[in-house]
Structure formats: C-alpha cells, structure tokens
Amino acid sequence: MVVDFRRTSRRHHLPLTISGSEVDIVHSVKFLGVHLTNELTSSDNTTAIIKRAQQRLHSLRRLKKVDLPISALTMFYRGTIESILTYCISCWFGNSTAEERHKLNRIVRTAEKIIGASLSRIQDIYTERCVHRANSIIKDFTHFSRDMFILLQSDAVDAPVLTVNSHWSSSDSCTVNFTCRAHDLMINSSYQNNRCSPEEVTSQINTLILNCSEESIICNHSNTVSWKIDRINITQLCGGKDTCNDTRTIHTLTFDYILISTVIVVGVIVFSGLVLYCFCKNNKGVKQSDDTDYDDVETLTQKMTGDTWTTVTYCIVGHQTSAHKS
C-alpha cells in the first residue's frame, strides 16, 4: 500500500521488488485489527465494525427474550458489542465522517431499546480514551511523543504557599523552620546561618523549587507555561534582640504577662487599703490623746508633808499658759 499526499495528479509508482518478487500494491490493508486505506480514511474500518456489531445485536435480542436482567444484558453488550465499536477508537474515530458516526450511534441506540437502559455514546468514549492516552504519555518521560503535548495558558500553576512553622533568633544566629507547599508538592526545610539548602521536587508537569538568600526565602512553583512565587523577608524574622517565637513560647509569654499584671493590680489595691486603714486609725488615736491631756492638766494636785504645804508646780498642756501656785 502506497500513501501519497501530493495534491498534484498522482503518477504511476514503481513496483517494489523483494528477493526478485514484486510486491503487490493494494488500496487497503488490515493491520492489528484496523483497516487502513491508502487515503487514510476510516470508511473500510467503519463498514467492517458495523457489520460485526449488527451480528452481535441478534444475540442480544435472543437473550432479551429469555428475560435476563438488565445488568446481565448490559454486561453482554459491553463485552461483545461495545468492545467492537470502540476497538482502537482513538486511532480512527477522529478521521471518520458524520455519516459514519451516525451509523455507529444508531447501533448504540438499537442496543438501548433492546436492553431498556441508557448506554455510553461513542463520542463520549472516544473523548475519554483520548484524554486517558494523553495523560499516560505526559506521565511517561521516555515516550517519544511526550514533547508534542504543550500546555495551554489555561493550565497556569497555582500560587505556592510559604509558611513559617517556628523561628528563633539572637544577635549572632538565626534559625527558621518553614514549609513550601503547592498543589500536591511540599518541601520542609530550615534556614540557618544566613543560608539553606536549595531543594527541588517535580510531579507530572509541575516543579516546586526552594531557594534562600541573606534577605529572603523564595518558593517557586512553575510548569512549561507559567510560574508563581511566594517570598518571606528574613530581616523581619532574624533582626533585633533574642526572641523565641515558637507558638508555645508565645502562649507562655502571654500567660506570664497576664499573671504579672494581675499580681501588680492586686498589690496596688492591698497597699491602698492598708494606707487608708492606718490613716483612719491615726486620726482616731490623736483625738483620744488630746482629750486625756486636758483632763490631766486641770486636776489640782497637792502634796502635804507634816503641818506645812509643799509648793507644787504644774503645767497646763494645750491652749492654756503655765502658772505657779504656792
């Protein structure tokens, strides 16, 4: 079989001779169950498929007459009729004409009437098979056709997420534990002494790359048509005094701050109460002392020794002036 794509009038092709024998030139050939023509049309293949499928429809009608359940009839259809209609469908269905597709779908509709259930359309099966085949080729890095699949702009990557799990810094060192995540890819790493180890992970078509510098940590998610990054500034995490910003430490510091504030407030309240109590008690004691002094100085004390009076000197404390009595 000779395939000639020239638009001009085809010339006579010279015969092919192998071991002194001339090879016959044919217009169609059956290869691995698929009928190929020199014009690369699917007419011969479609005709052969429809003929074989119609023969199996007769068997399906016979099974329907014996009242087999729908599930059994559907299984028979998929195993004996659908398998014929969809054999190597990704190779020839795309080149078929609208008339040929109508004939194939008519067999499917006939089977639906016999079984009494909905069946998959030929077009849907073709699309599913092609997508499955394309994904298999993309996953296989050794496949010779892998470079033919180019991603469209609609397959742009999602933005990565760079998360700091914990960090500790001092005047002479800094340690940051972080996670770089994008889609189904993830990198866990640490930043120490102004550097971290560059890492790279790859899935089917996407790549996640981690890089560090003295100023930032960069997480890059990319494929063949797009790339996006997420960045964290190191100077904001590693600058300043000794800090320990682990989640548990933050909770501990918060608790200590609340406890110290509570103790201070309680202490101020107790101190204020003591001062007020002492002030009130002092005022009351001063008043009682003043009353006692006035009573004492107004009492006349006399002392007698024998027949004579002894001169007694007394002093009045308060607002009165001192005096002498004999």
> Domain residues of the chain, as ranges?
24-148, 157-244
Give the pLDDT confidence score for residue 159 in this predicted structure: 86
Chain-centroid distance, C-alpha 131: 26
pLDDT digits (tens, 9 = 90+) for 158-179: 888 888 888 777 777 788 888 8
Q: What integer pLDDT is reported at residue 307 of this predicted model? A: 47
| Sequence-ordered list of residues with C-beta below 8 angstroms from that of 87, at least 6 positions apart, any chain | 33, 34, 49
Q: Quick one: pLDDT at residue 241?
A: 43
pLDDT at 284: 65
Match 């534990």 to its residue by tokens: 177
Q: What is the pLDDT of residue 305?
A: 44
- Region of 272 (left: φ > 0; alpha: ψ -120 to 50; beta: rest) is alpha
Indicate the burial class of 17 (C-beta count within 10 angstroms; 0-12, 13-18, 19 or more): exposed
Please name the helix (run of DSSP H) or strand (run of DSSP E) that holds residue 210, with its range, or none.
strand 207-212
How does pLDDT run along the chain (326 residues), one tens digit per residue? Answer: 677 777 665 567 777 788 888 877 777 788 888 888 877 788 888 889 999 999 899 989 999 998 889 999 999 999 999 999 988 888 888 888 888 889 999 999 999 999 988 888 888 898 888 888 888 887 777 888 877 776 555 667 888 888 888 877 777 778 888 888 887 888 888 888 777 878 888 887 788 888 888 778 888 888 877 788 888 887 777 764 444 444 455 556 677 778 888 888 888 888 888 888 787 877 766 555 555 444 444 443 444 444 444 444 444 544 444 444 43
297-319 burial code (b ≥16 CB/10 A, e <16): eeeeeeeeeeeeeeeeeeeeeee
- Tell me which residue of 151, 228, 150 sits closest to 185, measured CA to CA: 228
Q: Are strands 308-309 and 185-192 parallel, antiparallel or unpaired?
A: unpaired
Full-model pTM: 0.44
CA pair distance 111, 78, nearest whole angstrom? 10
- 80 with 58: CB under 8 angstroms? no
Helix (H) and strand (E) counts in the chain: 8, 16
Can you read off the two tokens belonging to residue 100? 């040929």
In this prediction, residue 217 carries a pLDDT of 86
